Amino acid sequence: MNMKTKSFEPAYSKTYREGLFPDKIEKAFQMLEACSLCPRNCGVNRLKEKKGFCCAGKLPEVSSYSPHFGEERPLVGFHGSGTIFMTHCNLGCIFCQNYSISHLGEGKEISLERFGKMMVELQRLGCHNINFVSPSHYVPQILKALPEAISMGLSVPLVYNTGGYDSVNTLQLLDGIIDIYMPDFKYSRSNVADKYAQAPDYPQMAKLAFKEMHRQVGDLLINEQGIALRGVLVRHLVLPEDLAGTEEVMHFLASEISKETYVNIMDQYYPCGNIPLDSPLRRRITQAEFNQAIEAAKKEGITRLDKFI
């Protein structure tokens, strides 16, 4: 699905012109007083530096920021995706591929002003987008930093690169802000999500979140150079012994989101983090398991697969 670059304007530009940022920012920071940003609803006052499950406080924490060339092709393009890796995570996946960032808190606290300048610096380096990695617990800070970045010339799409454990109420504050939602549908079964991420309600919450994301931005739109401009791009990491429940995930996407959903079915799982010795997650997936995942998508009519188009 294509869109001409000349007809594209980032969603946040219109929101900024219409003066809608202050209300969104106020509502978002009110949620921090008894934190309800994500489905965990920890209820701690982050404005007073109380910490909940995600261990995030009042200011944003960033592990790194740079042009990234390991993302999906429509994001990387010619000059890379401008990734900002946010510290901590609202999920507790024991096998997290970024364990040192999500679990061990690798990164440092920065000011909101510095946060906004990071976005502009990445754009000036030629990045096609600004890609917030694990942003669910920093939505107020993102909203607060954006007006200054926009005033400094920010004009590329914003990517919300999330684990999928998001609150609809929080996502609604991002309506008219985010251009590309890139959620990872990690688990389709409650017992697996509970065992490996301490989030038994993950499948239910993820489905609600995906529907809200798609309502806002629709299917992924790509320009004449193959660069993503707006829409939903779904990631699904295949796990050993089908622990991710790939068939159920693809059925949901095809039947309740769109058969035109752009999906990256990922085969790069490897054991890391804090995995018990007797866990099936102690091994990588087989080629047969990956092939089975691809066939599950095609069976549901999903053909916009990142590595196969």
Whether residue 141 lies inside any domain: the answer is: yes
Q: Provide the pLDDT for residue 307.
A: 80
Neighbours of 20 (CB within 10 A): 15
Give the span between the Cα atoms of 102 and 133, in whole angstroms. 11
The mean pLDDT value for 255-266 works out to 98
Q: Which two tokens stand for residue 47?
A: 């404005």
Q: In a 3-state reduction of DSSP, which class is residue 37?
A: coil
Whether residue 308 lies inside any domain: the answer is: no
164-190 tens-digit pLDDT: 999 999 999 999 999 999 999 999 999
- Write the CATH number for 139: 3.20.20.70
Whether residue 306 lies inside any domain: the answer is: no
Residues in Cβ contact with 229 at an 8 Å cutoff, skipping those fewer than 6 apart: 3, 5, 8, 157, 179, 180, 221, 222, 223
215-233 tens-digit pLDDT: 999 999 999 999 999 999 9
Whether residue 305 lies inside any domain: the answer is: no
231-250 tens-digit pLDDT: 999 999 999 999 999 999 99
| Residue from 248, 286, 142, 166 nearest 214 by CA | 166
Residue type for position 11: A
Note the helical H segments in 152-274. Answer: 168-173, 190-197, 202-217, 246-252
277-307 tens-digit pLDDT: 999 999 999 999 999 999 999 999 999 999 8
Query: Would you say how long the chain is, in residues?
Result: 309
Q: Which domain holds residue 90?
A: 5-299
Spatial contact of 172 and 20, defined as CB atoms under 8 Å apart: no
Q: What is the pTM of this model?
A: 0.96
The mean pLDDT value for 104-109 works out to 95
16-61 tens-digit pLDDT: 999 999 999 999 999 999 999 999 999 999 999 999 999 999 999 9
The secondary structure of residue 82, as a DSSP letter, is E
Q: Provide the pLDDT for residue 5.
A: 57
| Residue from 25, 157, 162, 28 nearest 102 by CA | 162
Whether residue 153 lies inside any domain: the answer is: yes
Q: Provide the pLDDT for residue 7.
A: 77
What's the Cα-to-Cα distance from 2 to each of 9, 79, 126, 221, 261, rounded to whole Å? 15, 20, 21, 5, 14
The mean pLDDT value for 137-150 works out to 98
Give the span between the Cα atoms of 304 and 72, in whole angstroms. 12
Q: Provide the pLDDT for residue 3.
A: 57
**pLDDT above 90 for 109:** yes
The domain tally of the chain equals 1
Long-range contacts formed by 171-174: CB under 8 A, 24+ apart: 171/209, 171/212, 171/213, 171/216, 172/212, 173/24, 173/27, 173/28, 173/139, 173/143, 174/139, 174/143, 174/216
Percent of the chain with pLDDT over 70: 98
Q: How confident is the model at residue 75 (pLDDT cuts 50, 70, 90)?
A: very high
Percent of the chain with pLDDT over 90: 95
